């Protein structure tokens, strides 16, 4: 087990989230081109594929003030906040629920500082764990009672609770095995045709209908049949990371009329073979779906830069 979800918001949308009132923001970005920003209770919620008894998370955080108190992250079960991370002036606090302070950190930060926040949370009324790292250093290490009830987590919420000051977030990672570490999420954009172009394009070449960031629905590829496949080549990595933690393929689609297939699978081609995510259900309203590969499926080993650059990406009707 490992990576559950990642989003660096480089698609220019919040489509991978299950509810959001925060907004995409491109001015003075935290990393890359886009991040998200909100205040006065704005949020972004992500449901987990299955509930977890403990969870590790990471995100980049930039407060526009260091003189207020505001919850910035919630671990939840349903609509119940089990544990939360709170900015208390210029330090972090670990909270049981939304009001009981378990511990206060000592790593300070200032307004408009970009900090890496990581947390490990296990909700339990006697053997609970709540750890928070700031910029890679363990700042809070609490054990004991970390819940007022639920002992499982089924969704997380970024939240900008302050009514007065904006909070900014980027590079969100959910993991069910370990601290994510100093990880960044970078976007690679489709820039040419791959080996398969089986969907029907609205105009031009298939790859030209899926290369926009942010997305555009004025052009598209479509099919009414299952088993149809489009693949594409993409730009190369423009940096040399120490290691690659995962590759994620993201696409946006919807259902029109009464198609014989209602699912999409994300695809990655590597080592001479194609590999597919599980079925991702589409709806009549547009939505984004994703597939994540922690290791190269052709080798079972961590991805290399050359393997990422050579991989084809795409989608298949299922």
pLDDT tens column, 82-122: 999 999 999 999 999 999 999 999 999 999 999 999 999 99
For the beta carbon of residue 219, count every other beta carbon within 10 angstroms.
15
- Mean pLDDT to the nearest integer, 45-57: 97
pLDDT attached to residue 279 = 96
**In the prediction, which pLDDT does 245 show?**
94
Exposed, middle or buried: residue 65 (CB in 10 Å: 0-12, 13-18, 19+)? middle
Asked if residue 304 lies in contact with residue 311, where contact means CB atoms within 8 angstroms, the answer is: no
- pLDDT (0 to 100) of residue 238: 87
Is it the case that residue 67 has pLDDT exceeding 80?
Answer: no
Q: Which of 15-24, 59-68, 276-285, 295-304 has the weakest average pLDDT? A: 59-68
What per-residue confidence (pLDDT) applies to 257?
Answer: 85
Yes or no: say if 155 and 74 are a contact pair by the CB < 8 Å rule: no
* pLDDT (0 to 100) of residue 260: 80
Calculate mean pLDDT across residues 7-13.
Answer: 95
Taking the C-alpha atoms of residue 165 and residue 90, their distance in angstroms, rounded to an integer, is 13
pLDDT of residue 1 exceeding 80: no
Number of CB atoms found within 10 A of residue 208's CB: 17
What does the pLDDT look like over 135-186, one tens digit per residue? 999 999 999 999 999 999 999 999 998 888 899 999 999 999 999 999 999 9
Give me the pLDDT at residue 65, please: 85
Q: What is the pLDDT of residue 30?
A: 96
Q: What is the pLDDT of residue 61?
A: 98
For the chain, the straight-line distance linking the first and the last C-alpha, in angstroms and rounded, comes to 25
Give the helix/strand (H/E) hosting 141. strand 137-144
pLDDT of the residue at 118? 98
Q: Please write the tens of the pLDDT for every residue from 194-218.
A: 999 999 999 999 999 999 998 999 9
Give residue for tokens 């370990």: 178
Task: Answer whether residue 268 shows pLDDT above 80.
Answer: yes
Pick the CATH number of 190-317 from 2.60.120, 2.60.40, 3.40.1710, 1.10.287: 2.60.120
**Domain map (residue ranges) of the chain:** 3-175, 190-317
pLDDT for 282: 94
16-28 pLDDT, tens digit each: 999 999 999 999 9
In CATH, what number does 3-175 get? 2.60.120.200
The per-residue pLDDT for 66 is 78
CA distance 270 to 297: 8
Q: Which residues contact 237 (CB under 8 A, 6 or more apart)?
A: 186, 188, 305, 308, 309
Q: How confident is the model at residue 68 (pLDDT cuts 50, 70, 90)?
A: confident
Tokens (6 digits) for 180: 């994510």
Same fold, 3-175 and 190-317: yes
The token pair that represents 129 in the structure block:
């764990």
Phi, psi of 290 (to 5 degrees): -145, 155
What are the pLDDT digits (tens) for 131-140? 999 999 999 9
Residue 310 phi/psi, 5-degree rounding, is: -90, -15
Which residues make Cβ contacts (< 8 Å) with residue 241, sequence separation at least 6? Answer: 184, 305
Residue range 41-55: mean pLDDT, rounded:
97
């Amino acid at each position: 087990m490992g990576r559950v979800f990642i989003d660096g918001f480089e698609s220019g949308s919040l489509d991978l989230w299950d509810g959001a009132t925060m907004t995409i923001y491109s001015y003075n970005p935290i990393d890359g081109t886009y991040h998200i920003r909100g205040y006065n209770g704005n949020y972004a919620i992500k449901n987990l594929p299955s509930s977890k008894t403990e969870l590790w998370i990471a995100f980049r955080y930039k407060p526009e003030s260091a003189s207020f108190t505001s919850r910035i992250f919630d671990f939840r079960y349903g609509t119940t906040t089990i544990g939360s991370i709170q900015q208390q002036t210029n330090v972090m606090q670990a909270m049981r629920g939304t009001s009981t302070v378990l511990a206060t950190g000592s790593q300070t930060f200032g307004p408009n500082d970009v900090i890496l926040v990581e947390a490990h949370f296990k909700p339990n009324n006697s053997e609970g764990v709540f750890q928070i790292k700031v910029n890679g250093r363990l700042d809070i290490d609490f054990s004991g009672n970390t819940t007022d009830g639920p002992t499982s987590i089924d969704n997380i919420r970024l939240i900008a609770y302050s009514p007065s000051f904006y909070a900014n977030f980027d590079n969100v990672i959910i993991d069910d095995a370990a601290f994510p570490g100093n990880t960044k999420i970078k976007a690679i954009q489709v820039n040419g045709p791959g080996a398969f172009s089986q969907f029907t394009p609205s105009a031009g070449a298939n790859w030209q209908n899926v290369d926009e960031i942010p997305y555009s629905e004025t052009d598209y590829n479509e099919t009414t049949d299952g088993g149809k496949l489009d693949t594409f080549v993409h730009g190369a990595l423009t940096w040399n990371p120490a290691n690659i933690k995962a590759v994620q393929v993201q696409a946006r689609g919807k259902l029109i009329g009464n198609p014989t297939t209602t699912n999409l699978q994300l695809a990655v081609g590597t080592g001479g073979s194609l590999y597919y995510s599980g079925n991702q259900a589409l709806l009549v309203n547009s939505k984004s779906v994703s597939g994540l590969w922690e290791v190269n499926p052709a080798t079972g080993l961590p991805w290399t830069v050359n393997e990422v650059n050579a991989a084809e990406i795409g989608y298949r009707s299922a």
